[in-house]
Amino acid sequence: MTSKATLCLAALLGVQAAAQTPLYLDPTAPVEQRIDDALSRMTLDEKIRVIHAQSKFSAAGVPRLGLPDFWTDDGPHGVRPDVLWDEWEQAGQTNDSCTAFPALTCLAATWNPDLARLYGRSLAEEALYRGKDMILGPGVNIYRTPLCGRNFEYMGEDPWLASRMVVPYVEGLQSQGVAACVKHYALNNDEEHRHQVNVIVSDRALHEIYLPAFRAAVCEGHAWAIMGAYNLYQNQHNCHNATLLNRILKTDWAFDGVVVSDWGGTHSTAEAIANGLDMEFGTWTDGLTMGATNAYDNYYLANPYKQAIKEGRFSTAELDDKVRRILRLYMRTTLDRTRPLGSLCSESHYDAAMRVACEGIVLLQNRDGMLPISPARTRRILVVGENAVKMMTVGGGSSSLKAQRETSPLDGLRRRLHGLVQVDYARGYVGDTGGSYNGVSTGQDLTDHRTPEQLIDEAVSMARGADCVIVFGGLNKSDYQDCEGHDRQSYGLPYGQDRLVEALAEANPRTVFVSISGNAVAMPWAHKVAAIVQGWFLGSMTGQALAAVLVGDVSPSGRLPFSWMKSLDHYGAHALGAYPGTWREARDVIDEEYSEDIFVGYRWTDSRQTEPLFAFGHGLTYTTFTYGKPRITTLDDAQGRYRLTLTITNTGQRRGAEVVQLYISDLQSSVPRPVKELKGFRKVELEPGQTAEVVFDIDRRMLSFYDDTLGRWRAEPGRFEAIVAASATDIRGRAAFELK
């Protein structure tokens, strides 16, 4: 029976009321036929209408055809609060709060793809409830330098780890009918002057380091959208880049989704038409800024594009391809009648945030079993540091959130230890005393007019009488720290924290440092403190998760997704002077050559035999594990398929999880290759005394390198070694094999 809505639509289309539902609205019809039908009904104006924004975060639909508007929203850590239609200021709504999930560095540190899927699904449910069709995330740019202000939104330095984590995130998000928009494609590895940076990189490094996570998101996760980056590659802006978009993404990877510009990333009508951009957002064209009523009509892909078609300078071939992709996106999202309604700030979402936070926290150092803290043997704890009380969900750029709940580390500890242990607090240092971004405020005023000397003296005096001291320091989400738009200006801790930690460690050797950050920092005092914990930006459940790990309710199982160097010049980009690049005055661009090539992170330290402060993949637990001898068997010699098996046993006194890591070393390569490369990992949770078998299947792609002379991946015959490890520097076993 024909519904009332269908009758109305049929009348609008000028057909008999009793006619069948138009093919493009029939969910039982093949998708590509539905797209053909819808496209055939659209006028030139309607086609132009859907390929650019109509507001800060939405693109227009086609009311005549019953195609709804399309709504995007910033992620990737939660659904961003709504802004006004044509301004960046808050809309002032009272129902646009959210669950703040841990930052993606924390998710990557879980080394648990199942949690990535849960994260994506939970975020999608919140997006649906808020009426959003696309989340602008996740981000998978590579951690090349610890100065990048946006590293906290990404998944670390290793392309394999990022690939294995991004696929389930995308699948979880899109399982609910919400599009993932994977960003920022590609080579967006620093924030300072991000609109001017022209990256010069070898084809090998491009394909081996900087593209694999994007390729996995597209070819395995089947992402429905990709966001271009602000920077340039081969002297073309990446939001309309012929090589990245047309050749690699849409041809080589057969991407059938939509390429979305970053906000303000479009610079040319002709290049946007020809070089693969499908939807344009955030452009300020022809000098138009905020509030201009015709700004959106003057976008590069709006009236200028339509005029170019009318004048015969372009055919409609490129336009039809863009609209086809957008219609396909509609079929997957706004026209999917099976999409659920979603839910907002549910207990299941807070549970998901808690699980990710607990599994992502990394215990970096634990001398003499300092942690966990035993309430039975502890009378008084001194908590020190601004980051113990500062709310971190607000700020940092486009991922800033309006969280319904956020528990501080100090409150989390006090709640957990209430009635058991006295928890005192000393400020220690003053950093960013505000707490607002883009119209959202934490409501905190952390103003303190005491001098650094007075703050340190107070903390030291209180530390002498404490059973242990926990310093919550690190970075925050202010400009030039972990924040979009700027890079950090130094590797060291801000606000005089080094002086504070040194003084506290001297006053009380039972000092624990908890770093709240998305980046590594210099720790010249690391050998003086008893324990070091990497606490990330954990979102709504910050206090509860940190307390659970510090007190021992949870045995930490996080592992670093990047190498933590002792000094800045131990990173390849800085050792070679390959950051931040050189100004080219004639074009107002910065040429930034990736001179370290494929040797990023642990690949660099391995090649230079440099010992990091904390290795990639490193993380301690409250139990111990032993590894059995790895064994290699051949599954298919001709196809290059092998199987590695080993056992792992929990030899400690409590339940815990170990991340077993597989690295591959090519012993006979004709080209320079890293000493080893991560090609597999398993997170195994065991009871005391329990043993499990761990299996890794090795295939030819894991043995391959990108041959830039042939333009393809290639595996050379010869000897290889499979390396089983607990981190990039903690080798537990080796097994040799040969590719015939």
Query: Last residue of a domain, which of 525, 554, 583?
Result: 554
Report how far apart, in Å, the C-alpha atoms of 567 and of each of 142, 417, 646 are: 19, 37, 36
Average pLDDT over residues 658-667: 98
Same domain, 327 and 396: no
pLDDT computed for residue 87 by the predictor: 84
- CA-CA distance, 256 to 247, in Å (whole number)? 13
- State which residues form the domain around 477: 361-554
Residue 632 and residue 527 in one domain: no
**Does residue 255 form part of some domain?**
yes
Q: Counting runs of H as helices and runs of E as strands, what totals does the chain give? A: 18, 29
Half-sphere exposure of 343 (CA within 13 A, CB side): 8
- pLDDT at res. 294: 73
Same structural domain, 218 and 282: yes
Tell me the one-letter amino acid at 302: A
467 catalytic? Reply is no
- Amino acid, res. 728: A
Residue 603 lies in a domain: no
Q: CB–CB of 534/362 below 8 Å?
A: yes
Specify if 548 maps to a domain.
Answer: yes
Query: Looking at the domain assignment, is residue 300 inside a domain?
Result: yes
Same domain, 401 and 511: yes
In a domain, 585, yes or no: no
Please report the pLDDT score of residue 15 as a whole number. 42
Residues 167, 56 within the same domain? yes
Q: Are 147 and 521 in contact (CB under 8 A)?
A: no
- Co-location of 205 and 302 in the same domain: yes
- For residues 328 and 390, membership in a common domain is answered with no
Q: What is residue 646's predicted lDDT score, i.e. its pLDDT? A: 98
Distances (CA, A) of 487 to 158, 176, 205: 20, 35, 22
Q: How far apart are CA 383 and CA 423, in angstroms?
A: 7
Burial of 139 (0-12, 13-18, 19+ CB in 10 A): buried
Q: Which pLDDT band holds residue 19 (cuts at 50, 70, 90)?
A: low
Residue 410 lies in a domain: yes
Residue at a domain's end among 539, 554, 569? 554
**Domain identity same for 318 and 377:** no
pLDDT at 13 over 80: no
Does one domain contain both 507 and 430?
yes
CATH of residue 509's domain is: 3.40.50.1700
Contact between residue 215 and residue 166 where contact means Cβ atoms under 8 Å apart = no
Within a domain: residue 581?
A: no
Mean pLDDT of 290-294: 57
Residue 564 lies in a domain: no
Q: Which residue has the tokens 């738009």?
A: 485
Across 649-663, average pLDDT? 98
Residue 687, phi then psi, degrees to nearest 5: -80, 160
CATH number at residue 94: 3.20.20.300
Q: Are residues 126 and 260 in the same domain?
A: yes
Beta strands in 310-421 (DSSP E): 362-366, 380-384
pLDDT band at 369 (very low <50, low <70, confident <90, very high): very high
Least confident of 12-21, 322-331, 514-523, 550-559: 12-21
Q: In whole angstroms, give the CA distance from residue 279 to residue 133.
A: 14
Residues 369 and 300 in one domain: no
Neighbours of 186 (CB within 10 A): 27
Select which of 262, 482, 597, 666 is catalytic: 262
Q: What is the spatial distance between Cα 529 and Cα 471, in angstroms, rounded to a whole number? A: 10
Whether 284 and 391 share a structural domain: no
Residue 323 confidence (pLDDT): 98
In percent, the amount of the chain with pLDDT more than 90 equals 93
Q: Is the pLDDT of residue 5 over 50?
A: no
Under the banding of pLDDT at 50, 70 and 90, the label for residue 709 is very high
Please report which confidence band the pLDDT of residue 289 belongs to, taking 50, 70 and 90 as the band edges. low
pLDDT digits (tens, 9 = 90+) for 155-181: 999 999 999 999 999 999 999 999 999
Burial call 652-671: b when 16+ CB within 10 Å, e when fewer: beebbbbbbbbbbbbeeeee
How would you class 624 by CB atoms within 10 Å of its CB: exposed for 0-12, middle for 13-18, buried for 19 or more?
A: middle
Average pLDDT, the chain: 95
Residue 691 is part of a domain; what is its CATH number? 2.60.40.10
The candidate with the shortest Cα–Cα distance to 151, out of 521, 595, 544, is 521
Report the pLDDT averaged over residues 137-148.
98
> How many separate domains does the chain show?
3
